[in-house]
Amino acid sequence: MEHHTSGQSSHASSFQWLSFAYQGLTEIPYETILSQTDTLEVLDLSYNLLDENPALLGQLEKLSTLILDCNNYTSHVKFPYMPSVTTVCINKNKINNLPVFVEEIRRKFPNIKILSMMNNEAAPSYFNGGSLTQYKDYRQYVISQIPGLEILDDTEVLEKERAQAKKTYPAAPEQSQQQKEEGGFIQETHTHAEKVKYCHKTLG
């Protein structure tokens, strides 16, 4: 995206993309972020020391992509309700309880299409010592609980995978109704390839 700046930017400017990556933050810089509520679509808070619940981010009504990679968030993080968000990247944090975390994601981001949570204990893979069986089971569980998910980590959700997930795990029953009542599906403004790039641009 063209509109990109760091946390040093002036409040008088308007941006679609704000990055506070690699700043050693222990608190979310709400003053700068909330000055962009009318325009902000992508927020990158990666590579910091954050663990606080990002409660005030719920004021960002146009935000579509939230990047929290390489922080200290746990499975018990509490997000605000954010129906505009379609992409959440929370790779390499301290998430170890998959059901608790996935339920929070499902309820607070009803229109999520892309979720990336690699390099967390709750997301076993070859890269963190998980077996192929554990990896497949992890994917099936997440896909079953978030039926609208289209990309999990860096891999597209295939229809045959979705069908198997439905057989293996019961889907969250109120998911479809919740989407209708609390905002419906959000029209995408960026391609999936672009959003996956945002999530993984600093993990390579």
- pLDDT (mean) for 5-15: 53
Helical segments of 70-131, H only: 98-108
Give 170's pLDDT tier (boundaries 50, 70, 90). confident
Query: Measured between alpha carbons, how far is 194 from 85 in angstroms, rounded to an integer?
Result: 15
Q: Helix (H, G, I), strand (E, B), or coil: what is residue 58?
A: helix
Strand order in the sheet with 4-5: 4-5, 17-19, 42-44, 65-67, 87-89, 114-116, 151-152, 155-156
Which of 5-14, 111-120, 188-197 has maximum average pLDDT?
A: 111-120
Helical segments of 38-118, H only: 98-108
CATH number of 4-123+148-158+185-200: 3.80.10.10
- pLDDT (mean) for 191-203: 54
59, 102, 117, 178 from 122: Cα distances, Å: 29, 10, 8, 26
Does pTM top 0.85 for this prediction?
A: no
User: Max Cα separation, the chain?
Assistant: 52
Per-residue pLDDT of 53-79, as tens digits, reads: 999 999 999 999 999 999 999 999 999
